[in-house]
């Protein structure tokens, strides 16, 4: 199984994010049904290990909170823009939840996440897009700010790779207090 832990987004926010998509030749846009905020990518694991992950995540206690998304960001590699995303504003509650997820997964034997947590919702992969089109998009949408999203649970998703895009399946939802 290929797994990750994420915050699912309500349909209204997915629609607002989806309205941003388009206008950049060469960009590969994420389908709106796949929008999420990853707390921790797990990757391929055996079914018995997935059961351990589920039990560890079920033990997490964390309060509900509001998630604020704002602006447009990029991830770059060797000076080239590789993806567009909407960043999440950092909050104590989001950081604490992500830390608890990381700790729980390490306790069941998963390797620590090496990358620093940068909360975001990916909009597009852009390695084949022209830089000037990306810069124009960033400028046009810099002030994007949907209303805050109430977060009442986090989710263990499975990911199945498809021809056009991955297919994400919510496997288990874990309620927040």
Catalytic machinery residues:
36, 120
In DSSP notation, the chain reads: -EEEEEEE--HHHHHHHHTT--S-TT-EEPPGGG-EEEEEEEEE--HHHHHHHHHHHHT-----EEE-B-S-EEEEETTEEEEEEEEBPP-HHHHHHHHHHHHHHHHTTPPPP-SPP--EEEEEE-TTS-HHHHHHHHHHTTT--PPPEEE-EEEEEEEE--SSS-EEEEEEEEE--
């Amino acid at each position: 199984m290929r797994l990750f832990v994420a915050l699912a987004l309500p349909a209204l926010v997915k629609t607002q994010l989806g309205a941003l998509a388009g206008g950049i030749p060469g960009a590969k846009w994420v389908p709106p049904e796949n929008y999420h905020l990853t707390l921790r990518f797990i990757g391929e694991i055996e079914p018995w290990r997935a059961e351990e992950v589920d039990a560890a995540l079920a033990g997490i206690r964390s309060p509900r909170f509001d998630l604020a998304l704002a602006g447009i960001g990029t991830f770059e590699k060797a000076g080239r823009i590789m993806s567009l995303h909407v960043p999440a504003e950092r909050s104590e509650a989001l950081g604490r939840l992500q830390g608890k997820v990381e700790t729980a997964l390490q306790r069941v034997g998963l390797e620590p996440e090496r990358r620093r947590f940068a909360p975001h919702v990916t909009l597009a992969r852009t390695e084949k897009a022209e830089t000037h089109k990306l810069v124009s998009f960033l400028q046009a949408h810099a002030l994007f700010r949907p209303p805050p999203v109430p977060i009442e649970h986090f989710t263990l998703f499975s990911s199945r790779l498809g021809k056009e895009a991955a297919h994400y399946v919510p496997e288990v939802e874990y309620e927040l207090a």
